[in-house]
Amino acid sequence: MTEVDAGTTVGQAAGRGRVLAWALWDWGSSAFHAVILTFVFSVYLVKEVGDDLPGRISPGAWLAFALGFAGFVVALTAPVSGQWFDASAKRKLSLGVLTGITVVSMAALFAVRDDYRDLWLGLLLLAIGSAAFELSNVPYNAMLRQVSTPETVGRVSGFGWAMGYFGGIFLLLACYVGFISGEGDHRGVLGVATAEGLNIRLVAVLAAAWFALFALPVLLAVPELPRTAADPGAARAGILDSYRVLWRDLRALWATDRRTVGFLLASAIFRDGLAGVFTFGAVLAVQVYGFTDARVLLFGVAANVVAALGAIVAGRFDDRFGPKIVIVVSLASMLVWGVVLLFVEGSLMFWIFGLLLTISVGPAQSSARSFLARLAPPGREGQYFGLYTTTGRAASFLAPTLFGVFVAVFGGDGPGAERVGIIGLLLVLGVGLAALLVVPPPERAR
Residue 239 confidence (pLDDT): 54
- For residues 121 and 125, give the distance between their C-alpha atoms in angstroms, rounded to a whole number: 6
The residue ranking higher by pLDDT, 170 or 74, is 170
8: pLDDT strictly greater than 70:
no
| pLDDT confidence band for 446 (50 / 70 / 90) | very low
Q: Which of 84-98, 218-232, 233-247 has the highest mean pLDDT?
A: 84-98
- Nearest 5°: the CA angle 285, 36, 195 is 95
Lowest pLDDT segment from 239-243, 270-274, 282-286: 239-243
Contacts of 187 (CB under 8 A, 6+ apart): 179, 180, 181, 194, 199
Average pLDDT, the chain: 85
- Which of 76-90, 313-327, 368-382 reaches the highest mean pLDDT? 313-327
Instruction: Give all strands (DSSP E) within 97-171, no chain letters.
Output: none
Q: What CA–CA distance (Å, rounded) separates 224 from 4?
A: 7
Query: What is the CB neighbour count within 10 angstroms for residue 193?
Result: 13
How high is the pLDDT of residue 3? Answer: 39
The mean per-residue pLDDT over the stretch 35-50 comes to: 84
For the cut 80, the answer to whether the pLDDT of residue 443 exceeds it is no
Question: Is the confidence at residue 321, as pLDDT, over 70?
Answer: yes
For residues 161 and 365, the answer to whether their CB atoms sit within 8 Å is yes
- pLDDT value for 59: 83
Report, as an integer, the average pLDDT of 332-344: 94
Q: What is the pLDDT of residue 329?
A: 96
Contact 134, 68 (CB under 8 A): no
Give pLDDT tens digits for 348-405: 999 999 999 989 998 999 999 999 999 988 878 888 898 888 788 777 778 877 887 8
Q: 242 falls in which pLDDT band (50, 70, 90)?
A: low
Q: Which residue has the higher pLDDT, 325 or 172?
A: 325
For the ranges 128-142, 213-227, 393-407, 416-430, the one whose mean pLDDT is highest? 128-142
Backbone phi, psi, residue 414, to 5°? -90, 180
Answer yes or no: are the C-beta atoms of 430 and 404 closer than 8 Å: no
- Mean local confidence (pLDDT), 423-442: 94
Confidence of residue 52 (pLDDT cuts 50, 70, 90): confident
Residue 194: pLDDT above 70? Answer: yes
Residue-level pLDDT at 270: 95
Please report the pLDDT score of residue 67 as a whole number. Answer: 82
Is the confidence at residue 225, as pLDDT, over 90?
no
Can you list the domains of the chain with their CATH numbers?
9-225 (1.20.1250.20), 255-378+397-441 (1.20.1250.20)
CA distances from 231 to 92, 236, 385, 436 (A): 19, 10, 17, 31
- CB 136, CB 95: distance < 8 Å: yes
- pLDDT for 368: 95
- Band of residue 150 on the pLDDT scale cut at 50, 70, 90: confident
State the average pLDDT over residues 428-444.
92
Q: Is the pLDDT of residue 1 over 50?
A: no
Closest CA to 436 of 318, 261, 251: 261
**Run of H or E including 186:** strand 186-187
Under the banding of pLDDT at 50, 70 and 90, the label for residue 60 is: confident
| CA distances to 339, 350, 361 from 342, in Å | 5, 10, 19
pLDDT at 243: 67
Cα distances (Å, whole numbers) of residue 19 to 24, 79, 144, 155, 264 = 9, 25, 9, 10, 26
Indicate if the pLDDT at residue 254 is higher than 90: no
18 vs 414, more confident: 18
- Stretch among 60-69, 234-243, 328-337, 371-380 having the lowest mean pLDDT: 234-243
> How far apart (Å, rounded) are the C-alpha atoms in residues 20 and 441?
28
User: Judging by DSSP bridges, how do beta strands 192-193 and 186-187 pair with one another?
Assistant: antiparallel
